[in-house]
Amino acid sequence: METAYAPSVAGYLILALAIAAEVVGTVALKLSDGFTRLTASVVTVVAFTAAVVLLALVVQRLPLGFSYAVWAGVGTAAVALIGILAFGESLSALKVVGLVLIVAGVVSLNLTAQ
């Protein structure tokens, strides 16, 4: 069954919120220290739950493949940058190339979302 989508500001706004929730959940997961820290553990569960609920709302408004790819790609790139900037993770030329490819993929998906 093919569904016609009329891209909406609401769809993109909810997608941005879903990405933010996923990033918060992932950072909190790191800070939970294997679910041994209560506050970070609760934030992880709440943020990931919010991310999935928001993504479910997004796919009602935007195409599934586009929505998931942007959610996963932007979230991955954001978490990688946070890892480098906040947690002192290494930065290599290959990691930069990977991040550039993720951004290029998200941009190309945005250009073909209609």
pLDDT values of the chain reduced to their tens digit, one per residue, 114 residues: 455 666 789 999 999 999 999 999 999 999 999 999 999 999 999 999 999 999 999 999 999 988 999 999 999 999 999 999 999 999 999 999 999 999 898 888 878 765
Q: What is the pTM of this model?
A: 0.89
Cβ(69)–Cβ(16) under 8 Å?
no
**Cβ-Cβ contacts under 8 Å for 67 (sequence gap 6 or more):** 15, 55, 58, 59
Cβ(8)–Cβ(63) under 8 Å?
no
Cβ(69)–Cβ(110) under 8 Å?
no
